[in-house]
Amino acid sequence: MRTVAELKLGEHVCCLYESEDEHRRVLSAFLTQGLCQRGRFVYVTDGHPPETILKYLTGAGQDPEPDLASGQLRFLRKEDAYLRLGLFDPDKMIRMLGDETARAVADGYAGLWVTGEMTWALSGAPGSARLIEYEARLNRFFPGSRCVGVCQYDRGRFPASTLLNVLRTHPLAVVGTELFSNFYYVPVDELMSLRYAEAALDNWLRHLTHLHPPEEPNGASHHDAGDDDELAEREAEILSLKREDNTLLRSQGRAPKFYI
């Protein structure tokens, strides 16, 4: 099993963290990897100020001051990245990532390590409704690039329905500090198509048939017992997310979406 410290250029990862300790462990590993591999690191802040992130590094035994002084480590505000000119434009943000990557390589770095705190998307700023479109389209940018990115989502602040859509847009997901191939990922062309519901259904059916090969005529099956456990765990995760979503809706005085 790979960890965050083994991410590769060209990969696009989501981190749905549940606690500040989990956030610290994931970001400490990602920051340390990028800086030690002579990458330029760009961190777009929101809920965590730069001082907090620098403490992550010092707590991991790293001295960030030389990296800050040289420009290897840079912090940007959300207003300097996602919300430039007061609105969110996926095209401009992806172009910015491409420019930053090219600049890092031209300056002699191995590539660009980038991470952003996505809580700004809850602000209702113009264009924020295009978040899922943006995350999907990043899967055309990252593969083959000299850039690796981790998108951060605080599970305590985002509704479960949004996080389910976020998961669909990331080929890899971080749980703890380990990397997992994402069962729920939907390729960008399918996700952005006009027949999204049908495409998503096709994608899920492919996964189901992979987990459960056809039964033999006598009723026997060649799949492992562990496959049943894995599917049950995934169904339990979905049920848990639905319950969380209902709890959030009720706390807002709204009717629940899911009847479970």
Asked, for residue 202, whether it belongs to a domain, the answer is no
Residue 179 counted as domain residue: yes
What pLDDT, on a 0 to 100 scale, did the predictor assign at position 197?
A: 64
Strand order in the sheet with 112-117: 73-77, 40-45, 112-117, 147-154, 12-17, 172-175, 178-181
Both tokens of residue 93?
């943000």
pLDDT at 199: 65
Strands 147-154 and 112-117: parallel
pLDDT of residue 213: 59
For residue 133, the tally of other CB atoms under 10 A from its CB is: 15
- Give residue 222's domain range: 212-251
* 229 in the same domain as 182: no
Classified as helix, coil or strand, 100 is helix
Q: Count the residues in the chain.
A: 260
Q: What is the pLDDT of residues 136-162, one digit of tens each?
A: 999 999 999 999 999 999 999 999 999
State which of 173, 188, 203 marks the end of a domain: 188
Distance CA 154, CA 19 (A): 8
* Statement to judge: residues 60 and 177 lie in one domain: yes
Cβ-proximal residues to 50 (8 Å cutoff; 6+ apart), any chain: 43, 75
Q: What is the CATH number of the domain that holds 144?
A: 3.40.50.300
Q: Per the structure, how many domains does the chain have? A: 2
Looking at the structure, do residues 228 and 144 belong to the same domain, yes or no? no
* Residue 46 resides in a domain: yes
Q: So what's the pLDDT on residue 184?
A: 86
Is 70 domain-assigned? yes
Q: Do 128 and 179 fall within a single domain? A: yes
- Of 169, 206, 173, nearest to 191 by C-alpha is 169
Question: Is 198 contained in some domain?
Answer: no
Helices (H), the chain: 20-36, 50-59, 65-70, 90-106, 131-141, 160-168, 188-191, 196-211, 225-251
Low-confidence ranges of the chain (pLDDT < 70): 193-197, 199-200, 203-204, 207, 210-260
Token reading at 67: 């990296």
